[in-house]
Amino acid sequence: MFRRQLALDAGGFRTDIYQLVDVDFWLRLMLRSAVCFVPHELSVRRHTAATETTRVMATRRNVLDRQRILTWLIVDPLSPNSVRSAAALWWIPAWLAMIVEVAVLGPQRRTHLKALAPAPFREFAHARRQLPMAD
């Protein structure tokens, strides 16, 4: 559980991430507060052909999700150096893996490859623009 203000301070749910929006949100919360592990099943989810998750995965609308999360971890001023370093080390391999995955598996190879190609430049500029302004 967390306070509403913490969620607001973390920026809430992002609209530019489609599949991993919950993971992104939890990572940003964890950078801003202490967390603990609860060794019990707290929720269960199922994926069927009718779920949004299935549709997103089929169309690969989530093609830049991992890059956007890693980029944010790198540029977030509250990220400790260890988190920034780990995210930076994963950025290029994750990007290259997605390029190979899209090229081999599709769908819409051309469209998705065009989105992935400028990612090393565009995503960092986008993330920096999203940073909260200093008061």
Domain-embedded: residue 135: no
Query: Based on the structure, what is the number of domains in the chain?
Result: 1
Domain-embedded: residue 55: yes
Chain-centre distance for alpha carbon 69? 3
Q: Give residue-wise pLDDT tens across range 78-118.
A: 999 999 999 999 999 999 998 998 889 877 888 889 989 99
Which domain range does residue 10 map to?
Answer: 4-34+42-130
Residue from 34, 122, 127, 32 nearest 74 by CA? 127
pTM of the predicted protein model:
0.76
Taking phi over 0 as left and psi of -120 to 50 as alpha, with beta for the rest, 93 belongs to alpha
Question: What does the block give as tokens for 22?
Answer: 């919950």
Q: Residue 28: how many CB atoms within 10 A of its CB?
A: 24
